[in-house]
Structure 1
Amino acid sequence: MKRAIAKTGNVTALGAMSGTSLDGVDAAILSTDGQRIDAFGKTSYRPYSAQEQVVLRAALGQWSGEAVYAAQKVVEKAHKDLLEPFGQVDLIGFHGQTLAHAPRTRGTLQVGDGVWLSQALACPVVWDFRTADVELGGEGAPLAPFFHFALSQHIRAETPLAFLNLGGVGNITYVDPGYSKPEETGALLAFDTGPANAPLNDLLQARLGLSYDKDGKIARSGTVEQGALELFLSEPYFAKVPPKSLDRNDFSEMIALVSELDDADAAATLTAMCAAGVAEGMRHCPHPPSRVLVTGGGRHNPVLMKMLAVSLECPVAPVEEVGLDGDMLEAQAFAYLAVRVARGLPTSCRGTTGVRMAVGGGTVSWP
């Protein structure tokens, strides 16, 4: 195996993402030179079993110990199962599974050993994307914005727009396509907007044994508890100027705010909290975006999408409206970032994570 990636030209990279919703692992092939997107390739998905989800949930918020080791083994096996059938690619981008995120104190923890995966798949693996950013004073999240900048060029956007990812946690990227590079001051602004699907999924799992609110059916039949919503919006996080990021469980008290509501009203209120967090976040954008393109599982919830359309002062649509795959955008992002790491290009900057200088995170492990 050669121990280098070609310095120029397109690379066939395979990206994988296991998000905070804990539903499973996405994988996608991308052809790119680390700057422009050449082509989107094959995609696949491997759900976590109910037992695997139990193991992962038991490790959330922990930094070490047996629960973390057990979660690591689940993550590694799931990725090997999913990625092996893709066959030969030039490079793999392996994000791993975030268990804990506290950039200002303890750092950030994504489990999954890239050295092991590179050996198991006989392919170079780029991993540990966030540590370098945190060590230089950054939030370590979100990391998809540089890919969002490339997407804005790919879809030939001419005016500022926003990409909104609604996974377990919500995050937004404001993109000004008038700049030539993502690390230029003013090209990007990105931050976590607040909780998205995680609190609702956790509540439905605990109460009804459901993994999510399919088609928003439960929330649609409920009424939003305005008092709980107002308490939620009084959290200092929303007034804090970016950069800022969240751990999956940072707003765990949301569940307590709806604990006495029935299932439908609790679901409606948690859904409204997600939309309200996004609306508050939009206040930090330097200019109103021309549109908001939504990716992640939240875009499948018509109740949430309607709440966003009502609360935001611009058109809101799933990314499929511009020909993108909202289920695979984050996996594609880590394929893209892997190529940038391999070529020594930055993957985050002050506008995306608050890092002191544009930095290329990630470690390359060779089989």
Structure 2
Amino acid sequence: MEAKTAKTGSRPEVGLAALARARDLLGTADHYVVVDGTDWYRADAGIQRLVRVDGPEPPPYGGRGEIADVDFAVALLSDELWKVADRHRGGERPIDPEEFLKLAGFRTHTGAWVPIRKETLWQARRRALVDFERRGREGGLFTSHKTIARAVAELAGAKLTEDLLDPFCGAGSFLWDAVELAQRNGTGLRVARGYDLDRRTVDVARSIAEVSPVPVEVVAADALEADLPRSACVVSGPPFGLRFSEPHELMDGSKTRNGDSLLLDRLLRLLKPGGRAVLHLSLNITFRADVESYRRYLATHFRVAAILGLPNGAVPGANVRTVLMVVDASEPGDTFVAQLGEDWETQLAPDGAALQAALKHIDGERP
């Protein structure tokens, strides 16, 4: 049903054009014009004429409909996110996770609540949040570029058979794409876990995890201090450019204050034997002189399966060059290396040449 309110004193026919547009956009079936909030007119099937009625007719089967169209649900949730942001603009918490959690449907002109189907809500919450973040930083939540999140999932795909971990999950971009791919391909992923320092970000990630088809646990914790479980697959985009006041010892016995190498070391320590890490890292991990001994250690103790260089612009709001690195906790082997240019999004699309070439090198021909 779609209802259009006409101004006092206007002819109800002025609402016909708006009803026709709503039908074309939303696929609605019953259409009404309301004058002064009390006088109801129902449109015919072609939305050409109006007939005065006592009020809206209840839909068949008790009106227990659900929103199933993902694009429509994303549009509704995005609109509500911006309304929430406007209400909180200038405050310390522009987006309240509790309000985001409530965005699970919409209320019609007549006051009826129409829920979003759970399977649809799982996709719509993720897309609405990412779109909101890319249009502006009002939310204050970290989300990765959707092309990178999707590529990380594809590169991890063959190892999404047991458990999944992101120790620096932000709002969960890498987790959600990996879970979706695992579900689509039937890989048998049983559980996913995410950790992040920011409690507000964790709350938003939990609101998405609530409707995930795979159990997802999101914890507010410091990944460098917490006792994290070892996992068969680790995906993550840790913070760039950190420097610690005290040196930390790496797996090769060297010590460093450099956050990029320290976080890489922490992530690789979390792999189970035979597991895989797919990481979005600062480019300097590949060339800094003070990381040379650690790179040699990785090359002789892990399989550094692929390194895909990304240009500036791959990280929203940051002028930094980065790489996607795939590391298996297995016997060393050759590394697939590619530096992507301005068409990096095309190259990393599911059917992109660079992604397909990397997957062929890492996992062999797909069945």
TM-score after normalising by structure 1: 0.27
Which structure is higher in RCO with an 8 Å CA cutoff and minimum separation 6? Answer: 1
Which has the higher Rg, Structure 1 or Structure 2? 2
